[in-house]
Amino acid sequence: MVHALPSPAELDTFAETADRVRGAMESVISGRPDLVRLTVAVFLAEGHLLLEDVPGVGKTTLAKSLAKAIDCSVGRIQFTPDLLPSDLTGVSIYRQAQHEFEFRPGPVFANIVIADEINRASPKTQSALLECMQEAQTTIDGTTYQLPRPFLVVATQNPIEMEGTYALPEAQRDRFMARLSVGYPARNAEVEMLERQETADPLAAVRPVADVEMITAMVGTARRLYAAQGIKQYVVDLAEATRTDPMLRLGASPRAAIQLLRCAKALAAMSGRDHVLPDDIQDLAVPVLAHRLLPSTDARLAGHTVTESITAIVARTRLPISGRASAPDRRATAG
Amino acid sequence: MSQTSRISGARLWLCTAVLVVAVLAAFRSMTTVVQSGPWVGTGVMGLLLLALLLVLLRVVLRSPLAPTAWGILASVLGVAGQYGGLTSTFSIPRPTAETLERLRLLIAQGEQTIVEGRIPVQPTRGLEMLLVVGVLATYLGAELVAVGLGRGGLAGLPLLALWSPAVSYERDVGIPLLLVGGTTYVLLLALTRRRPRRNDLTWRREATTALTAAAAVTVGALALGSMASALPFAGSMELPSSWGEQNTDSPLRLSTDLDMRANLDGRSNRPLLEYTGSARSIGALRTYTLATFDGEEWQRGARSTGLVPANGLLWPDQAETSEEPLIVDVRVLALEGDRLPVPAEPRAVTADGVWLYDATRDEIIGSDTSVRGLDYELTISPRELSADTLQADAAGAPPEGAALYLDVPATQHSADISALAQEIVAGAGTTYDQAIALQSYLRSSQNFAYDTELAAPQTDDAVWDFLTSGRGYCVQFATAMTLMARMVGIPARMAIGFLPGSPDEDRRDTYVVSARQAHAWPELYFADAGWVRFEPTPAQQTGAPPIYADPFAPDPQASANVPTSSAMPTTAPTTGPGGQVAEREGYVGIGDAEVPVAAFAGVTGGVAVLLVGLALVLWHRRRRKRSVPHGPEEWWARLREDLAEHGIRWTDATTPRQAAHLVRSARTRPALTSPGEPVPEAALLADADAALDRLVAAVEADRYSPRPSGAGAEDLAAWVAAVERPLAAVGAAVDEA
């Protein structure tokens, strides 16, 4: 595929806009710049985000702050055990007067869909959402409806050990580009948060800093970023390592490798670079890979987590050195 | 690179001092192998002068190799001046053919002494020169790796080479000396250490490496040790523990009634007899032969068939000799007895008085009761004995019949001994091979240890007790071989006499036989050759077996056939007093070498391996130095190597940015900025940071961006230098401190 590399002007715009979005989000989510950065990167890479943590740490707030920072449509679904697929996608209602069915789109028809506590819904409903995520379209009563672009699902879930939950199967977890854990804020960040919440809701004060067109352009820019041959090999090396690691029962899928590179491009563009560095890949390895992998029985018994395995793999996988060998891509630059 | 790792200032002087002590300790260990002499003083003086020269050169010169080169030149000149002149004192060396020839002869003489010397070796001038060259070379090598290249660990190899003779012959060098050697080595390691490493991870990794290496070395040493002890000559590695001095003026009489159960009492160094001539040519001197053994004691046994006047060539049967006879003058000092000590080879005797020859026992008997104070002349016409001729020979019957020499005492265990003997000779085709198999079995230090104290009797068979306890001295070894030879059908008898004498320190060509040389050995009868001596007693006491009976001899055929005169290097005109060049006679059959050739070859091989290793290290370093990095990637690799020497290391999985972060955090490590230690200047650090960022950007652009960095070679070199500068500053300051 031959495509022009993003121009410096495009990259500047990209970095500037991304910074503004991050700034808006950080005014709400205090003390977690890294979390905000990864969230924005996943959004600009057209991925879907899974936020997993205990209740009350700000999963939904993070999703909402992103939605509010961008002038776009937002749908929010609170998943419950009795939620039906049609509650998500919408229903066709028969209009007696016109003698025809009228489609009432569900909350999934939005640029940003916040799916709260996705693991509380029944598997049937979960899979309906996941289908939308993968296809960016939905079919109701034989009619296919395109979902708006960009389309981002931010799903939150409680750790599966909690009561009344249906764990997402591996195949469905694989659809999420990244899983982030919000975690408890640092002590002073928590104090700051208390002070902010004292007088007003900071979320209400967030104003949109970008619109859908801008985001669409940025998504295009990110995809055209340069990734050296060595970087691609490095991504594949990491994916292969997860497949052969004795501590892991299930390794990374090729889809995982694709999404890792795509997300790394967005992250690199946010830094104003026109090329991907191994640092980008390493930063994203755990968020992008961890939720797709399964630890082996031995690893579980020994108390090793998947995150530890990935960290170990990153620490031992050799960096690409001969990255300049990527001749075809360079010719594309010249042309 | 060399700037950052150079050993300089006080550390240089300290390193040199420690190294000098280490080399001196190793050199001192040589005195347990070679008798003291002028070489000790010459060596120490030369070493001190060389050390002073090198340390001064290192202060002035920056190259690690140049001082060593000058040191080699100075050493060569010094050695040539000391040993290449006509006098034994120092003279200005002249590069003439005569000087070279003298040095060559000295080297040959030194080699000869090493091969034929008996520990502690009497130093000849050639050996002295080799020793001095050895200590100088050791210092040059150790100094180059430890001080020049900063690799203190490798300096252990040359030092070990100097220690190896004393260690491999298990000489008692004393605990203090060993402690000095070990301590100086550890000090050297500490002094030449690159950088104080306080990183926990590094420390753990190094500790793991050290433990693994120590375990590997231990296992290797154990394996090598057991392998080495399986070699026949390893018997020489055993130290006599009770060769006590016996202060008695009473003359010594050799007992003919050897008791297998008697411990060997301390024997004195008192000279019993002395002779002029060559130690190599005369071999062992025999007084008695014994034929009957009752399981505990030896009896004279063989009845003589008649005594004849001892005129002409004395030998039981027709002797075939083709060589020029060798004439030896013998003077009996404090030896009693009516038998004349004579070589176990055809010989004629010229002595005052009436002498009778007993052909059956092959003894020369005097009419007088004692040989004490007698002077006599021996004309020895050695047989042509070699492994090949004996191989072609077979066990035969002596003229008086074989029955007496095949008789074995009936004891509870005679069947066991016989079974063992059969097992040992299994696979040996010829009589000679069987004899060698028996001899090798008894000489093997795996099976037996030389001990003058015997184990308590367990059975009625002293030989069986010896074979099971594995402890004994010459009588036990010889008896066991004699009996086992008889059991496999080879007529055998015991011989009693003396091993060849040691060279006298003061008189040239004079050899002294003391009570220590008293010895017993088996003789086996061959159909053509007659009675042939074998040597089952381990080499520490007896040296190598006779060359015809030595499976490890270089080439018995070649040396056996060399005529007497031509093999002898024309005596070196330069040799000083005591510098006898031992003659290698054609008749080396009974030659006894205390230092086995194989061990000498091993030491030489070790030194060669050492030198090759050193050459490889130097080559590698030179190569690295020669190649100028090309492009950001190679400069980055160079920086990585250099920083690793400062304890800043990263893996292949570390990105350039992470590496840069590592460098920054390592530089501000508390350890390097703690009170009392210098802190790099802020300006230096700012420069280094900027250069590091540029270098990282260049590497990243080169590796991962669509456009190459465009950084020039000068830029890259300057950046790398700037990054390394603060570290070098700290390193130098630490050195000074």
- Residues B387-443: tens digit of each pLDDT: 888 888 888 888 777 788 888 888 888 888 889 888 888 888 888 888 888 888 888
Helix H or strand E encompassing B420: helix B414-425
- Check B703 against A321: CB less than 8 A apart: yes
Over the stretch B502-546, which tens digit does the pLDDT of each residue have? 777 777 778 888 877 888 889 998 888 888 888 888 866 677 777
How confident is the model at residue B135, as a pLDDT?
92
Over the stretch A113-134, which tens digit does the pLDDT of each residue have? 888 888 888 888 888 888 888 8
Measured in whole angstroms, the distance separating CA B291 from the mean position of its chain's CA atoms is 38
- Check A319 against B652: CB less than 8 A apart: yes
By the 8 A CB rule, do B42 and B132 touch? yes
> Is residue B455 a part of any domain in this protein?
yes
In our burial notation (b when 16+ CB lie closer than 10 A, e otherwise), range B155-189 reads: bbbbbbbbbbbbbbbebebeeebeebbeebbebbe
From A39's Cα to the closest Cα of chain B, the distance in A is 23
B395 and B458 co-located in one domain: yes
> Is residue B565 a part of any domain in this protein?
yes
How confident is the model at residue A324, as a pLDDT?
45
- Check B653 against A317: CB less than 8 A apart: yes
Placement of tokens 């590796």 in the chain: B703
B153 and B192 co-located in one domain: yes
Q: For residue B658, which residues of chain A lie inside 8 Å, CB to CB?
A: 279
Comparing CB atoms, the residue among A314, A322, A330 nearest residue B706 is A330
- Check A278 against B704: CB less than 8 A apart: yes
Count of residues making up chain A: 335
Assess if CATH 3.40.50.1980 describes domain A1-224: no
Above 80 in pLDDT, residue A85?
Answer: yes
Q: Least CA distance to B709: which residue of chain A?
A: A324
- In total, the C-beta contacts within 8 angstroms joining chain A to chain B are 54
Comparing CB atoms, the residue among B633, B657, B703 nearest residue A228 is B703
Above 90 in pLDDT, residue B73?
Answer: yes
From A61's Cα to the closest Cα of chain B, the distance in A is 33
Q: For residue A322, which residues of chain B lie inside 8 Å, CB to CB?
A: 703
How confident is the model at residue A293, as a pLDDT?
86
Mean pLDDT score, B64-79 = 91
Work out the pLDDT band at B598, boundaries 50, 70, 90: low
From A219's Cα to the closest Cα of chain B, the distance in A is 20
A297 burial (CB, 10 Å; 0-12 / 13-18 / 19+) is exposed
B604 and B675 co-located in one domain: no
A:272-301 residues touching chain B, CB 8 A cutoff = 273-279, 282
How many CB atoms neighbour CB B718 within 10 A?
Answer: 15
Above 90 in pLDDT, residue B567?
Answer: no
B340 and B434 co-located in one domain: yes
How many CB atoms neighbour CB B242 within 10 A?
Answer: 13
CA gap B73, B67 in Å, rounded: 10
Over the stretch A22-46, which tens digit does the pLDDT of each residue have? 988 888 887 788 888 998 999 888 8
B603 and B714 co-located in one domain: no
Comparing CB atoms, the residue among B658, B703, B706 nearest residue A230 is B703
Q: For residue A317, which residues of chain B lie inside 8 Å, CB to CB?
A: 653
* CA-based nearest residue to B314, from B357, B283, B263, B378: B357
B:641-660 residues touching chain A, CB 8 A cutoff = 651-655, 657-658
B277 and B188 co-located in one domain: no
Q: Does A321 touch chain B (CB under 8 A)?
A: yes
How confident is the model at residue B605, as a pLDDT?
75
- % residues pLDDT > 90 (chain A): 4
By the 8 A CB rule, do B436 and B393 touch? no
Work out the pLDDT band at B674, boundaries 50, 70, 90: very low
Mean pLDDT (chain B, rounded):
76
Q: Least CA distance to B659: which residue of chain A?
A: A279
Tally of domains within chain B: 3
- Check B653 against A319: CB less than 8 A apart: yes
> Is residue B206 a part of any domain in this protein?
no
From B655's Cα to the closest Cα of chain A, the distance in A is 6
The residue type of B446 is Q
Q: Which of A5, A229, A279 to mutate to test the interface with B (most CBs of B within 10 A)?
A: A279
- Check A282 against B655: CB less than 8 A apart: yes
Q: Which of A267, A321, A330 to mutate to test the interface with B (most CBs of B within 10 A)?
A: A321
Domain(s) of CATH 1.10.8.80: residues in chain A = 225-321
> Is residue B246 a part of any domain in this protein?
no
Q: Least CA distance to A327: which residue of chain B?
A: B706
Above 50 in pLDDT, residue B591?
Answer: no
B602 and B641 co-located in one domain: no
B114 and B58 co-located in one domain: yes
Over the stretch A226-239, which tens digit does the pLDDT of each residue have? 888 888 989 999 99
Comparing CB atoms, the residue among B657, B658, B702 nearest residue A324 is B702
Which of A149-153, B569-573, B689-693 has the least mean pLDDT?
B569-573
* CA-based nearest residue to A114, from A66, A44, A164: A66
Angle at B464 between CA B461 and CA B466, to 5 degrees: 110
Above 90 in pLDDT, residue B627?
Answer: no
Above 60 in pLDDT, residue B26?
Answer: yes
B640 burial (CB, 10 Å; 0-12 / 13-18 / 19+) is middle
Which of A33-47, B355-369, B586-600 has the least mean pLDDT?
B586-600
Comparing CB atoms, the residue among A318, A322, A329 nearest residue B652 is A318
Q: Does B710 touch chain A (CB under 8 A)?
A: no
Q: Is B618 left (phi over 0), alpha (psi -120 to 50) or beta?
A: alpha
Mean pLDDT (chain A, rounded):
83
Identity of the highest mean pLDDT range in A200-204, A275-279, B308-312, B680-684: A275-279
How confident is the model at residue B274, as a pLDDT?
84
Above 50 in pLDDT, residue A298?
Answer: yes
From A20's Cα to the closest Cα of chain B, the distance in A is 26
CB-based contacts of B297-302 (< 8 A; 24+ apart in sequence): B297/B257, B297/B258, B297/B259, B297/B260, B298/B256, B298/B257, B298/B258, B298/B260, B298/B479, B298/B494, B299/B257, B300/B256, B300/B361, B301/B404, B301/B493, B302/B360, B302/B361, B302/B400, B302/B404, B302/B493
How confident is the model at residue B53, as a pLDDT?
93
Q: Least CA distance to A316: which residue of chain B?
A: B653
How confident is the model at residue B370, as a pLDDT?
74
Q: Which of B640, B702, B703 to mutate to test the interface with A (most CBs of A within 10 A)?
A: B703
Work out the pLDDT band at B12, boundaries 50, 70, 90: confident
How confident is the model at residue B579, as a pLDDT?
35
Q: Least CA distance to A276: which residue of chain B?
A: B704
Q: For residue A310, which residues of chain B lie inside 8 Å, CB to CB?
A: none
- Check A277 against B704: CB less than 8 A apart: yes
- Check A316 against B658: CB less than 8 A apart: no
Angle at A172 between CA A168 and CA A177, to 5 degrees: 110
Three-state DSSP at A100 gives strand
Work out the pLDDT band at B133, boundaries 50, 70, 90: very high
> Is residue B212 a part of any domain in this protein?
no
Above 70 in pLDDT, residue B373?
Answer: yes
B602 and B570 co-located in one domain: no
Q: Does A13 touch chain B (CB under 8 A)?
A: no
B448 and B590 co-located in one domain: yes
B139 and B153 co-located in one domain: yes
B125 and B15 co-located in one domain: yes
CATH class for the region spanning A225-321:
mainly alpha
Above 80 in pLDDT, residue B22?
Answer: yes
From A205's Cα to the closest Cα of chain B, the distance in A is 37
Q: Least CA distance to B632: which residue of chain A?
A: A321
Domain(s) of CATH 3.40.50.300: residues in chain A = 1-224
Mean pLDDT score, A252-278 = 90
Above 70 in pLDDT, residue B368?
Answer: no
Q: Least CA distance to A326: which residue of chain B?
A: B706
Above 90 in pLDDT, residue B325?
Answer: no
From B78's Cα to the closest Cα of chain A, the distance in A is 54
Comparing CB atoms, the residue among A318, A320, A329 nearest residue B706 is A329
- Check B653 against A228: CB less than 8 A apart: no
> Is residue B407 a part of any domain in this protein?
yes
Over the stretch B220-269, which tens digit does the pLDDT of each residue have? 887 777 776 666 554 444 433 333 333 334 455 556 666 666 666 656 67
- Check B655 against A277: CB less than 8 A apart: yes
From A227's Cα to the closest Cα of chain B, the distance in A is 7
**Torsion angle defined by CA atoms of residues B674, B677, B682 and B683, in that order, rounded to the nearest 10 degrees:** -160
From B653's Cα to the closest Cα of chain A, the distance in A is 4
Tokens of A199: 């007088």
Q: For residue B657, which residues of chain A lie inside 8 Å, CB to CB?
A: 277, 279
Comparing CB atoms, the residue among B633, B704, B707 nearest residue A231 is B704
Structural domain span for residue B309:
252-594
Above 70 in pLDDT, residue B662?
Answer: yes
Above 60 in pLDDT, residue A53?
Answer: yes
A:224-253 residues touching chain B, CB 8 A cutoff = 226, 228, 230-231
Placement of tokens 């260990």 in the chain: B29
How confident is the model at residue B68, as a pLDDT?
92
Over the stretch B483-494, which tens digit does the pLDDT of each residue have? 899 988 899 988
Q: Which of B657, B704, B707 to mutate to test the interface with A (most CBs of A within 10 A)?
A: B704
How many CB atoms neighbour CB B322 within 10 A?
Answer: 11
How confident is the model at residue B46, as a pLDDT?
93
